[in-house]
Amino acid sequence: MEVQAFPTPGSMLSLSRNHFCYLKKFNWFCLNLRSLQMHMGSENRHPTSIKRTSVACSSDLQWSQQASFNSQLNDAKVIYCVAPAMGHNQDSHPECHLRVPAIMNTLQEMNLTSKRGTDVLELQNFKPATLDDIASVHTRAYVTGLEKAMGRASDEGVILIEGSGPTYATATTFSESLIAAGGGIGLVDSVVAASKNSGSPPVGFALIRPPGHHAIPKGPMGFCVFGNVAVAARHAQRKHGLKRVFIIDFDVHHGNGTNDAFYDDPDIFFLSTHQDGSYPWTGKFDEVGAGNGEGTTLNLPLPGGSGDAAMRSVFDSVIVPCAQNFKPDIILVSAGYDGHVLDPLASFQFTTATYYALAAGIKQLAKELCGGRCVFFLEGGYNLKSLSYSVADTFHALIGEPSIAHKLDDPAILYEEPSAKIKQAIQRVKSIHSL
């Protein structure tokens, strides 16, 4: 894998137009970042400064502590982990080090962290993913090439990873990406452990970065370094014998990396809803899998302007019957919040209420189909306020509390959804997949 030094701001215009269509609203985003920095203050930018109750990953505990750990798991409704990758940062880049701290600040303000009591639990001291974990999805050449590139990143600062458009790397990117993937693995382990003792295990939420769903087997792409949800899926199969994995990706951009990793795998169903014609310009209706995996990839590109009504219809008429037909052993979710109407990098009209409904529906689906085993993985979301509020209301849904979207959403900024095009898209995908 080759890398090159990240260009100075003045030289960014020399990069291809396609790469930076994804970043076309940098100026607005920079204002958003500065506003958050002033609001947070330097003392609150790293979530490790937060006082919190936590537990260690079960694999690190002595037998004498196992009973206590299991008890906490059994009482929890949500278990989350935090991996903010504070060293993996490029100033004014949408996928920056402020994203996870912004979420954590909002969760604290709304009393949705482990400090609230037994129903919310934080997984801490989890192990980084191993190179073998990553190589279950990515090529060894990519993994070793990225590790070697860290020396150059240390010397030169931020570097741009060749061929991946706006994906950057710093001296800590490799190690922090292993930590992010490890957090997802730890949550899978914890949720599976809890499901052996209870029919209602906690739902996991990996508050991690860099995100992963664009990272292809041979390299990084679209802000993503390692495929966190894909690595977790392979781990669920290999360690826990959960053969059939159902992956839902509701990020506004197609999860092409996850798509490619499992395109010929009959035991992993990948379902992506995304904005038609948006980065990375993949995820067409006819991309349905290949070989033994034909039929276990479903791509539903929706027109720009799709919003709450569209997603509720998609959930009822596409996601639910697909999951019911597939009969999964676990559900994993690439939870991208860049479909929000306020997000700068796309043009969907999702609201906080949309994400609450999705989370509540997915939790119920997991309860009905696979013993409640379900883990969410943070993907996109670049307006820090809408990202944080949407994750917080996702927590409300997973805990079983009422939504507070009516206090956060502004209906006045919404416009009429393209209902005819949405209906046509849904009917087309239902026809292709015999739903």
Q: Name the residues annotated as catalytic.
A: 214
Phi, psi of 51 (to 5 degrees): -80, 130
Q: Compute the Cα dihedral for 163, 165, 167, 168 and give only its sign.
A: positive
Closest CA to 375 of 217, 252, 231, 273: 231
194 φψ region: left (φ > 0), alpha (ψ -120 to 50), beta (else): alpha
Provide the 3-class DSSP secondary structure of residue 82: strand
Q: Compute the Cα dihedral for 279, 284, 289, 290 and give only its sign.
A: negative
8 A C-beta contact, residue 153 and residue 225: no
**Between the CA of residue 293 and those of 225, 267, 296, what are the distances in Å?**
25, 8, 6
Around Cβ 81, how many Cβ atoms within 10 Å? 27
Token pair in block for residue 52:
């919190």
**Between the CA of residue 318 and those of 1, 226, 266, what are the distances in Å?**
39, 28, 19
Closest CA to 374 of 262, 179, 183, 236: 236
8 A C-beta contact, residue 203 and residue 103: no
Token pair in block for residue 297:
């990839």
Closest CA to 254 of 230, 232, 278: 278
